[in-house]
């Protein structure tokens, strides 16, 4: 199967389907069941999965093991992915200890900081290395993804160093936009924006409007 280009909203729902699939103990699953677990409707599930060329079997549903492999491959999750944290402040600490990564095949294997008081510490079992060893450690440990948790002022320099070291996927938590070459994917997690979106759905919910799309924000 080749990696298909998918609608943005479908990409955002695939990891949620994947979680439901990995939590079920059945060998097959209906679109209704998958939809209920993911908080969407069954027609949406069928449409999303049809983008992967997966149509299920009438009266039986989808083969769980096959669908897990198909979604994982589509998302590029076939192998364990190694992650580095750049910037070990409060957020970096929190992410180093975050339980939700390992369960999804991500392993935090490196952390970097410029502060000599932080360098040499262990966070979540990982040694904090000095920032100027980034290229060496990224290469030695096979890091593919980075969590950028530096202050805003340091975000671009950290991005440049990651790109130079060969990291092509960056999740940016710093409150600053960063520029990167076209072959590098940068996703910005802006928690202020998340709160603003929440405000809207809070108003909708309080007004008693149907909130079928109000629950699932950044994935789950």
Instruction: Write down the least CB distance from residue 12 to its own copies, Å.
Output: 6
x/- binding map, residues 116-155, to its own copies, per CB under 8 A?
----------------------------xx------x---
Q: Which of 96, 147, 145, 138 minimizes the C-alpha distance to 121? A: 96
Which residues in the 66-85 window bind its own copies by CB under 8 A?
74-77, 81, 83
d(CA 30, CA 132): 51
E strand or H helix at 42, and its extent?
helix 42-50
Residues making up the chain, counted from first to last: 220
Closer to its own copies by Cβ: residue 157 or 171 = 171
Contact flag: residue 33 with its own copies (CB under 8 A): no
Closer to its own copies by Cβ: residue 116 or 192 = 192
Residue 100 sits at φ, ψ, to 5 deg, of -80, -10
Q: Which of 12, 36, 135, 157 binds its own copies (CB under 8 A)?
A: 12
Q: Which of 30, 46, 52, 201 binds its own copies (CB under 8 A)?
A: 201
**Measured in whole angstroms, how far is the alpha carbon of residue 40 from the centre of its chain?**
19
Closer to its own copies by Cβ: residue 5 or 58 = 5
Number of residues binding to its own copies, judged by CB under 8 A: 78
Contact flag: residue 11 with its own copies (CB under 8 A): yes
Q: Which of 103, 116, 125, 153 binds its own copies (CB under 8 A)?
A: 103
Contact flag: residue 114 with its own copies (CB under 8 A): no
Given the rule CB under 8 A, which of 13-21, 28-36, 49-57, 134-142 is the region that contacts its own copies?
13-21
Q: Which of 27, 43, 127, 185 binds its own copies (CB under 8 A)?
A: 185
Largest CA distance in the chain: 62
Q: Which of 25, 58, 153, 183 binds its own copies (CB under 8 A)?
A: 183
Strand partners, 132: none
Which residues are CB-contacts of 113 (< 8 A; sequence separation ≥ 6)? 87, 88, 92, 119, 128, 130, 131
| Rounded (10°) angle between helices 134-141 and 152-164 | 50
Which residues in the 49-68 window bind its own copies by CB under 8 A?
none
d(CA 163, CA 182): 11
Instruction: Write down the least CB distance from residue 131 to its own copies, Å.
Output: 19
Contact flag: residue 209 with its own copies (CB under 8 A): yes
**Measured in whole angstroms, how far is the alpha carbon of residue 168 from the centre of its chain?**
14
Residue 126 sits at φ, ψ, to 5 deg, of -110, 135
């Amino acid at each position: 199967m080749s990696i298909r280009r998918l609608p943005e909203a479908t990409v955002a729902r695939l990891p949620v389907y994947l979680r439901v699939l990995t939590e079920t103990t059945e060998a097959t699953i209906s679109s209704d069941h998958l939809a209920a677990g993911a908080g969407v409707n069954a027609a949406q599930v069928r449409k999303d999965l049809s983008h992967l060329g997966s149509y299920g079997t009438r009266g039986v549903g989808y083969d769980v093991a096959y669908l897990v492999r198909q979604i994982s491959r589509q998302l590029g999750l076939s192998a364990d992915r190694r992650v580095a944290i750049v910037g070990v402040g409060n957020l970096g600490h929190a992410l180093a200890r975050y339980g939700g990564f390992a369960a999804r095949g991500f392993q935090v294997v490196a952390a970097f900081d410029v502060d000599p008081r932080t360098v040499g510490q262990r966070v979540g079992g990982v040694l904090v290395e000095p920032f100027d060893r980034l290229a060496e450690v990224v290469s030695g440990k096979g890091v593919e993804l980075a969590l950028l948790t530096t202050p805003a002022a340091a975000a671009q320099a950290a991005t440049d160093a990651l790109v130079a070291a060969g990291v092509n996927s960056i999740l940016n938590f710093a409150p600053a936009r960063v520029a990167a070459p076209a072959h590098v994917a940068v996703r910005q997690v802006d928690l202020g924006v998340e709160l603003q979106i929440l405000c809207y759905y809070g108003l909708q919910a309080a007004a008693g409007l149907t909130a079928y799309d109000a629950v699932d924000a950044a994935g789950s």
